[in-house]
Amino acid sequence: MIDRRRLLKSVTAGFGAAMGSSLFPGIGQAASSLAPTIAPATGKAKRIIFFLQNQGFDPATAIPKGLKEDVSLDSIELPEPIRPLEAVKDKLHIINGIHGKHTSPSHSAYFGALGGYRGGIGIPPRGETIDHVISQRLPQTVLPHLCIGMDSLDNMKSRPTLATLSATGAGKPIFMHSNPVDLYQMLFGSISEGEVRARYEARSNVLNAVENIARQGGGVLPSAEAARYGSYVEGFRDINHLREQLSDISDHLAGFAPEFGEKFTKPEFDTDWHDSLLDLGIAALKSGITNTLTIGSGRGEIFGAWKGLGVTEQGHNLGHMDQPDNDIWIKIRQYNSEMLVKLVQQLESMPEDGGTMMDNTLIVYTSNNADKQHTAGQNWPFMLLGNCGGAVKTGQFTQLDGKRPVNALYTTLLHAIGAPCDRFNMDESLAAKFDSGVGPIEQLLA
C-alpha cells in the first residue's frame, strides 16, 4: 500500500494556514485567541476525533461493576453497552471522576462541552472549543476541521447544517454537516458523475458568480458595515478556494470516496444517513484532507433518533430514561461503540510512518451533557481510544477524585499532541474554584 503522507505531502503544502475567519466558519479557520499560551504541536503528525453522544453518558454503562480505583482492563470484561469495544480494548482508556460543574450542562452544555465554559440553549460560544484549537495546532490540511452531526432524518433534511458544539472563537460557531449528499458533493463532487457532478458544477458556478458580484459591492458602506460585508465576501472566497483545492487533488481523492449508494440517496432510516456521514468522515481522515473530526450524535441538542436500531422513542424522552440495563440505551451505546471500532479499524488499514494512521490518532468519546439529563455536571465520564503516538496510556480504567474539570482533560489532549499549556479556557479565578491542579492530568499520559 502507498504511504498516505508521502502521497499527500506535495499537494497539501501551503494549504490551510492562510484561510481566515469567514461566513463559513467550518472552512475558514480563525486564528486562535489562545495562541500566546499554547504552542504549535511538535513531532509526528497526529489527529484527534471527538465523538459526542447527546442525552448524557451514565458511567455505569461503561465502567465494569465494582471498579473504583485505577486498574488494567486486560482481564476485565466490558459492560454490555460498550461490549463491541472488546475488539479494541488494548487501545481503550475509560476515565471517571472529571467534572464540568462550571459549564451548566443540564440538557446540554452546547458549546461549553468542548469549550470548558458555561453554555446553554441559545447562548453563543464564549470562546474557542478544544477541537478547533487542536485543528489549528496540528499540521495544516486542506480542511483543518470537519464537523458532522447526526439527528433524525427529518431534522437532517430540514436543517442540513447546525452549530451547537464547536467554535473558532467567541460568537463564531462552526457548523456541522448533517446531509451526507451535500457533504459528499462538497468533498467528492469533482470526481463524481451524473446528477452529483451536475449539481457540483452548478453550485460552483453560482458561488463563483456570487463572489465576483460581492467583490464589486461594499465600497460605499460605513466602516462597520463594510467590515461585516467583507466577511461575507471572504466567506465566498474561502469556500470557492476549498473547492479548487479539492479539485486539484481529485485523482488522489478518488481512491477514498465511499460508495454513493442508496444509503445516501434513498435512506430508509436515520441511521442510514448516520452511517453515510461516518463513512465521509473516515474518508476525509484517510485521504488526509483533515486531521480533526468532530461527530455530534444528536447534534449537541436534546433531539435525535435511531429508528434503524429498532428504537421508536426519540428526542427528549430518551434523556429521561435511566441508561443502565435499559435495552434502548444498550442499543444506542453499542451502535456508538461499533462506530468507534470502525474508525479504529479503518485507520489501522492505512500505513503511516512505519505503522498505521491509528498509531498517531486519539479518539475522544463522551456526551455533551456529562453523565445524564438535568445534571449539574459533577461527573463527566470519558473514553479514549488510541495513544496518539505513544502519548496516552491505554488498556486501563482511571478513577479521578472529581476535582479536575473537563478543561484539565483538554489541557491533557494539547500535551498529547505536543502543544502544551498550563490551562485551557480557564483563568486563575475560575481555576481557584473548580480545578485542584495545574497542567495536564498526569495519570492519563504515558
pLDDT tens digit string along 105-164?
989 999 999 999 999 999 999 999 999 999 999 998 999 999 999 999 999 999 999 999
Kindly list the domain boundaries of the chain, sorted by start residue: 4-183+267-444
What is the model's pLDDT at position 189? 84
Residues listed for the chain: 446
Angle at CA of residue 361, ends 356 and 363, nearest 5°: 135
Does the domain formed by 4-183+267-444 have CATH 3.40.720?
A: yes
Mean pLDDT of 333-355: 97
Residue 125 and residue 343: Cα distance in Å, rounded?
Answer: 29
pLDDT tens digit string along 229-285?
566 566 666 777 788 888 888 889 999 999 999 999 999 999 999 999 999 999 999
- Output the DSSP codes for 43-99: SS--EEEEEEESS---GGGTSPTT--S-EESTT-PPPGGGGGGGGGGGGEEEEEEEE
* pLDDT above 60 for 26: no
Q: Identify the band that residue 6 occupies on the pLDDT scale cut at 50, 70 and 90.
A: very low
Helix (H) or strand (E) holding 190, with range, is none
pLDDT tens digit string along 41-85?
666 789 999 999 999 999 999 999 889 999 999 999 999 999 999
* pLDDT above 80 for 12: no
**Other Cβ atoms within 10 Å of 328 Cβ, number:** 17
Whole-angstrom CA distances from 193 to 101, 239, 241, 247, 253 are: 50, 21, 22, 14, 14
Whole-structure pTM value: 0.88
What is the model's pLDDT at position 7? 38
What is the model's pLDDT at position 19? 34
* pLDDT above 90 for 318: yes
Angle at CA of residue 98, ends 93 and 99, nearest 5°: 150
